[in-house]
A and B are shown apart, each in its own frame.
Chain A
Amino acid sequence: MLQREYGNVGALRNPRVTFTITIHQRTRSFPASPQPYHFDPASGILRLIWLDGAINVEVDYTARHVEAWITRSVQTSAAIANWVITIPLSELLRPFDYHFIHAAGLVREGRGILFGGRSGQGKTTLALGLIEQGWTLISDDDLFITPTPDDWRVVSGPEPVKATPQTAARFPQWCRPLSAATGKQRVSLPPACRIAELNGGLIAVGFITPAERTRWRRLTPRAAYERLLNLAWLPAHPDYSRRTLAVLHRLVHTLTPFELHFGLDFADLSNQLAAIIGEITRP
């Protein structure tokens, strides 16, 4: 059994959320569940089940404790980190009105854009390409957002920036080998290229779709909301779930939502994003 205490995770120092994690090698069997998540109102505990039951996690919102049972067959530390740390952390932050989004966040001249997308759709490649062109990174993959009275605060999640071999080959100046098993590379950016959070100035939320040629189009708030549900939202404690849904509703109505067909052509992408920002900020 391993017990560690986590605090000061990522850039999130306010609120400072400290929680404990207990990790067991799997020593008990768990009932099959039709859903990968189940909130038990009697105990107040959220149960999460992944990889056909290889990872079972219980999140206690009140005690801020995470209990995890993991089989030996789960080999990748990245998977364990995601399911045992990042996702439970995102649950424990919901009572503080911080909501997880699987997205990259980048800033230029004080204006921020979120780029949502599933793993492998190009968030990190897009982020590194934009950094080469003078943008500043909040995160390439995991963000927490919270509404402020008239804007948004966006905070980086705890995950370091990692790149696939293909992406690393495009940006060798920043990438170093990390895992022989997966070929993933750690990305070390100059400090000037990163900020921990953005307080105000968020203008748009985009959704990446791999494509032959880079182009973009506006989305309706409803279309953007559906994409956020697929990217950002895990049903959990019903009260917190309802709040997250309301926050996402506000997000798609206060920002400009768009779809980015991403063709890995950064010269064209720069023009496209300049056009997007020009249109968004046009009086």
Chain B
Amino acid sequence: MRPLKPAPDIEWQVFEEESLLINVRSGVFFRLNRVGTFIWRLLSEGATPAAILEELLSHFAVERPEAAADLDRFIASLLDEGLLIQE
């Protein structure tokens, strides 16, 4: 998979451990919970999915298979919604 990065029209607003992703062209916004915010922060810093998985395992009480599947689903949904793009 090519490197991932936030789409250019997406603005990220953080509220403690939660956040919103806002499309500045369409006005549509998406809510990220604590884990989603944690992952998005790493994605926006250029981390790879493999590196993010290791961070998740070290910060949250979750088994590797479950975390990997959830991360894959989350990244797929970010790509589907146009919030994340592949370079």
Contact = CB atoms under 8 A, between A and B. Distances in A.
Interface string A204-222: 0000000000000000111
Contacts of A221: 15-16
Contacts of A35: 26-27
Contacts of B15: 220-222, 225
Interface string B7-47: 00101010110101011111101010000000000000000
Interface residues of B, number: 15
Interface in A23-41: 35, 37, 39
A249 interface: yes
Binding site secondary structure of chain B: strand
Contacts of B27: 35, 37, 229, 233-235
A222 B18 contact: yes
Contacts, number: 41
A198 B18 CA distance: 32
A226 interface: yes
27 contacts: A35-B27, A39-B25, A220-B15, A221-B16, A222-B16, A222-B18, A222-B31, A225-B15, A225-B20, A226-B20, A226-B31, A229-B22, A229-B27, A229-B29, A233-B27, A234-B27, A235-B23, A235-B25, A235-B27, A238-B9, A238-B25, A241-B11, A242-B11, A245-B13, A245-B22, A245-B24, A249-B13
A43 to B, nearest CB: 15
B17 to A, nearest CB: 10
Interface of B: 9, 11, 13, 15-16, 18, 20, 22-27, 29, 31
Nearest to A39: B25
Contacts of B20: 222, 225-226, 229
A229 B23 CA distance: 12
5 closest residue pairs by CB, A with B: A222-B15, A241-B24, A235-B27, A238-B24, A221-B15
Contacts of A234: 27
Contacts of B16: 221-222
A91 to B, nearest CB: 14
A242 B12 CA distance: 10
Nearest to A224: B15
A37 B29 CA distance: 16
Interface string A36-74: 010100000000000000000000000000000000000
A220 B27 CA distance: 21
A235 B26 contact: yes
Contacts of A220: 15
B29 A242 contact: no
Nearest to B15: A222
